[in-house]
Amino acid sequence: MTASVLISLPDALARLQAEPELFVVHDRNAAWVVSSLMESLPVRASLALETSEEAKTMETVLALERQLLEADATRGALLLAVGGGITTDLVGFTAAIYKRGVRYANIPTTLLAMVDAALGGKTGVNLDGYKNMLGAFRMPEFTCLCPETLRTLPEREFKAGLAEMLKTFLLADGSLYAEAVRFFTAAQRDRDPMAKSAQNAPGLQKFIEAAAGIKARIVAEDPQEHGERAKLNLGHTFGHAIEHEARRQGADLTHGEAVAMGIILAAELSERQGVAQKGLAAQLKADFTAVGLPTESPYPVADLLEALRKDKKAAAGGKVKFVLLRAPGDVVLQELPYDCHLHTK
Ligand SMILES: NC(=O)c1ccc[n+]([C@@H]2O[C@H](COP(=O)([O-])OP(=O)(O)OC[C@H]3O[C@@H](n4cnc5c(N)ncnc54)[C@H](O)[C@@H]3O)[C@@H](O)[C@H]2O)c1
Ligand SMILES: [Zn+2]
């Protein structure tokens, strides 16, 4: 694997075997991963989580802290998170503050967590309905990539991760992007949308490792998000505005779906700004449709811009930092007025 923080299951098991104080915190929906893949581990205690954004809170962190205290966890403990991004965010934060910090490691069980959430050391919880308001930067000891764990993941969750994976290739490697689109288009056509078949599994593994490797490299170069790391926000400025509108209207939309739509809007903006050649947005739309991702925001751009304008963090001083695309694999950061999408150059 490309970056040292990323390791395979056999390597992870070997390292965990030597842990004197191993605590596993797992998503209930991924309990089978713990029982079937890790049965031989010397686990001191195994704690199960009922995951939801509503339960991704300080209260849940405190409940975990108490359980650790009751189990006499010392500063030598290692917490192992087994689950999606909610689990890895919660466990990372719990580890960051327990007795002023203990180690943790991730075995992500969603595609989104494998290529995004379980990498980079951003941990945290929601506060009063506001996402990720409390948190800390704390790097995991390792993140173990084991695509086998995706066996039971719902297809919609898989697609949410696919959007983040394609985003990563779009900002870093145009040829990997094209290759991944061809691969997932073929898988979709062969009625194997999650690339589970024996024939497709090695391809899926390769793309997961490549996307995770790119993210791990970017965060290693810019751990505190001063520069390069901002590129990972491709599609997220509009994506967050779309999620905001969806929440306001009670619509059911995953983060990945919003990001896919947000990337198309970012590509349209890139064309309008003269950064990308005409046709890029149409090409991405065709690609996303072929792999089974949505491309059309259900909300008018004017409403999204209004949401951006109100978002003090996104639109500081009337300007928003956008990640624009020159072409697949080539992005540029630009600060633009929040209503730039309404004007053509
Ligand atoms: N820290 C970061 O850098 C970062 C980056 C991106 C996202 N995030 C956070 O990650 C969270 C989203 O992560 P996610 O999409 O993985 O969500 P999630 O953890 O909620 O998992 C999605 C769903 O899949 C279920 N699940 C998990 N693994 C499964 C499996 N193997 N089989 C069956 N079901 C399974 C979960 O129970 C849940 O219902 C958000 O809270 C977001 O804020 C963090
Ligand atoms: Zn995202």
56 Cβ below 6 A of ligand 1: yes
CATH code linked to domain 155-342: 1.20.1090.10
CATH architecture type of domain 6-152: 3-Layer(aba) Sandwich (3.40)
Cα(306) to ligand 1 centroid in Å equals 29
- 148-189 tens-digit pLDDT: 999 999 999 999 999 999 999 999 999 999 999 999 999 999
pTM of the predicted protein model: 0.96
Q: How confident is the model at residue 60 (pLDDT cuts 50, 70, 90)?
A: very high
pLDDT digits (tens, 9 = 90+) for 238-295: 999 999 999 889 999 999 999 999 999 999 999 999 999 999 999 999 999 999 999 9
**To the nearest whole percent, how much of the chain has pLDDT over 70?**
96
Does 132 sit in the ligand 1 pocket, CB within 6 Å? yes
Mutation choice for ligand 1 from 51, 86, 243, CB with most ligand atoms inside 8 A: 86
CA distance 263 to 243: 13
Minimal-distance CA residue to ligand 1 atom 10: 85
6-152 against 155-342: fold identical: no
Asked if residue 117 has its Cβ within 6 Å of ligand 1, the reply is yes
pLDDT for res 193:
96
Q: Where are the domains of the chain?
A: 6-152, 155-342
